[in-house]
Amino acid sequence: MRILHKIILPLFVVVFLCATISLISREAAAKSGTRILSSKHKFSAHVHHPGATRRRVKNKKSAIKRHLASRRHSAISRHSLARHTSAAVVPVAASESHPASAAEEVLTAGRLRPRIGARAAIILDAGSGDTLFACSPDLPGQPASTIKIITGLIAIDSLSKDAQVIVSSHAAAMPPSKVYLKAGRSYRAGDLINSVLLASANDAAVALGEKIGGSESTFAALMTAKARQLGATNTVCMTANGLTARGQRTTPRDLAVMFNQIMKNQEFAERIRRVQVTTSFGALLRNHNRALWQVAGAEGGKTGYTCAAGQTYVGKFRRGESELLVALMGSHTMWQDVNTLVKYGFASEAKLAANRSRKHFGSEIVQVKQLGKERPNPLLVVLTDRKKVSL
């Protein structure tokens, strides 16, 4: 016990003295402004060592340079992203200081193409026939059910609405879309025409074709001849309903040209613009053309789809005095494409109308020869209401 006392007491005294000395040193350093490093730094030099100071300054400069470089890189990245984004989207909305014209509200033709999912498309002015936009408009492909516009037109011209059509087993066996006609049963031609134009019924199309042509193949030849009469030069029909067949083809341009002529038939136009109709045999026919209630100015149109053709469409639209045709083939985003093309088409029409108005106004201002020696310079004369006013 005595030995333990002799060992512990001196050790305690030594620890106490060390703690006291350390405390006194820290207080003195605090008063003089000198920094003493903790034991984590192994009590390494804290004094103003020239080498250490230079290293600290150099490290600070390097850190500042890295920070500034990082900020410059971020700014450049944001600027590049902003430029890339602005090149791919519609121009910003107009403000009071920067009013937007009709042409600025939509994409230019070059920027429009990447936004169209269709393989081929066209926009035509219904009055002049001018092309407002085209992308592979003469590329041939399977028409799918859009070709039923010819089926419907021939049926309207060939049959009265009350004519009776007997359905063959071949017609009844057609795949959907269909209205499930019964083989051997008679149906009114008017009901079958509505079934073709609104519900895109394959069985009704074949039944009408067989009634008019005697066989579907004969009727398909009549369809091809009618297409030529309507101005389509690249259309060949092999079926009455547009189902995929070897050698059958059309183009967006042909569809637009044909539909523009077909819509001049009043009965056809009245039938194809209906949203829904109930037949005399109790079937409710709903129009497949969503544009009638989704796109302003839609007057009528025909949809189509097969695996080989993709989504196809042809339609006519009217806003104010402007009328245009939209046709597309091989799409996978049909309704989005239709809406985009219609918007672009009417904006282009508005721009053309504005240009024509400016040219017309400019033609009213003419330059005349000098009228005499007293007035040697040419005069500008404005012709307004047949009165000549000198300026």
What the block records as the tokens of 46 is 């804290």
Around 90, how many Cα atoms within 13 Å sit in the side-chain half-sphere? 15
- β-partners of residue 166 are 186
Find, among 273, 276, 239, 233, the residue nearest to 150 by Cα: 239
Distance in angstroms (rounded) separating the CA atoms of residues 172 and 30: 103
In order, the DSSP letters of 187-206 are EEHHHHHHHHHTS--HHHHH
| Dist. CA 340–CA 346, nearest whole Å | 10
For the chain, the residue count is: 391
Among 136, 148, 177, 302, which one carries the catalytic annotation? 148
**What DSSP element (H or E) covers 166?**
strand 164-166
Q: Is 158 a catalytic residue?
A: no
CA distance 257 to 325: 8
Task: Mark whether 168 is an active-site residue.
Answer: no
Q: Is 148 tagged catalytic?
A: yes
CB-based contact 333:117 (threshold 8 Å): yes
In the set 177, 200, 331, 348, the catalytic residue is 200
Find the Cα–Cα–Cα–Cα dihedral 318, 322, 327, 328, rounded to 10°: -100
List residues with catalytic annotation: 145, 148, 200
